[in-house]
Amino acid sequence: WSLAERMAAEKESFGFYFSAHPVDNYRHLALAHGSRTFAEMGALPAPADGGRSAGVMAGLVEEARWRTSAKGRRYLMATCSDSSGQFVATVFDDAVAAQVEEAAKAGGCGLLQVELDRRPGEEAPRVTIRGIQGFETLSRRTRLQLEVEVDGPDAVRRLAQAVSSERGGNGQLRLRARMDEGEAQLILGRDFLLDAEMAARIERIDGVTFVRLAVAEPPRLALVS
């Protein structure tokens, strides 16, 4: 089974994940955008003025339901989770709510722009989602790099065979190989379809000693006027 298939089976059988959390498939993207887990966000000190603070989180949107406040205002309440646990977030912006609701229907993971409200007497901060970017869309716009180290020429041949059908993307595959004459470093190509599943498959190849998937260049921030 692939990692995705194992996680789906675990969720269906036990109601939670053993092998990994779906967000972990996009850890390289989350880290590149300064994302923190819900537990990490909750552990941050509250602002000196006791007000709200902004942050970035990576989350799986598990469920979304519309609610109406005591003042008659309609809002979306979303149940989300990451590798540190489950949390509930509210969405008041209609456009963002539509995106979150769609992510819930698809069982999608995304990068969440959030606002945290820490209130006296409450252990966990209240989370409001101000924006969401689906990781599938984000990954198509982001150039990735896979670094692989192998212990000899036999492993190089096995690696080349494993990635021969993974062309058609924009990912860079960088190889470091130990040879009898010394160490060789080369780029195998810049047109690979890279993701966490592929990295996990390569990690299991005999002779592969190190694998790291990362963003090839820092994400560029767009200016908004």
Q: What is the pLDDT of residue 202?
A: 94
- Residues 8 and 108 placed together within one structural domain of the fold: yes
Residue 220 domain flag: no
pLDDT digits (tens, 9 = 90+) for 22-59: 888 888 888 888 899 999 998 887 776 667 889 999 99
- Residues 127 and 152 placed together within one structural domain of the fold: no
The residue with greater pLDDT, 165 or 66, is 66
- Residues 155 and 111 placed together within one structural domain of the fold: no
- Residues 29 and 91 placed together within one structural domain of the fold: yes
Centre a 10 Å sphere on the Cβ of residue 85 and count the other Cβ atoms it contains. Answer: 14
Could you list the residue range(s) of the whole structural domain that residue 190 is in? 143-215
Q: What is the pLDDT of residue 65?
A: 96
Q: What is the pLDDT of residue 151?
A: 92
Please, how many CA atoms are within 13 Å of residue 144, restricted to the half-sphere of its CB? 24
- Residues 51 and 34 placed together within one structural domain of the fold: yes
Q: What is the pLDDT of residue 20?
A: 67
Centre a 10 Å sphere on the Cβ of residue 112 and count the other Cβ atoms it contains. Answer: 29
Residue 69 has pLDDT above 80, yes or no: yes
Residue 154 has pLDDT above 70, yes or no: yes
95 falls in which pLDDT band (50, 70, 90)? very high
Q: Outline where the chain has alpha helix (H).
A: 3-14, 27-32, 38-43, 94-106, 135-141, 153-163, 196-203
pTM > 0.85: no
- Residues 59 and 153 placed together within one structural domain of the fold: no
Paired sense of beta strands 126-134 and 85-91, if any: parallel
- Residues 100 and 186 placed together within one structural domain of the fold: no
User: Which two tokens mark 117?
Assistant: 């409200």
CATH code assigned at 75 = 2.40.50.140
Average pLDDT for 82-96: 93
Task: Out of 98, 117, 139, pick the residue that ends a domain.
Answer: 139
Average pLDDT for 66-77: 93
Residue 223 has pLDDT above 50, yes or no: no
Average pLDDT for 2-17: 54
Q: How many domains does the chain have?
A: 2
Residue 157 has pLDDT above 60, yes or no: yes
Which helix (H) or strand (E) element contains residue 62?
strand 52-68
In degrees and rounded to multiples of 5, residue 190 shows phi and psi of -125, 25
Residue 224 domain flag: no
Residue 2 has pLDDT above 50, yes or no: no
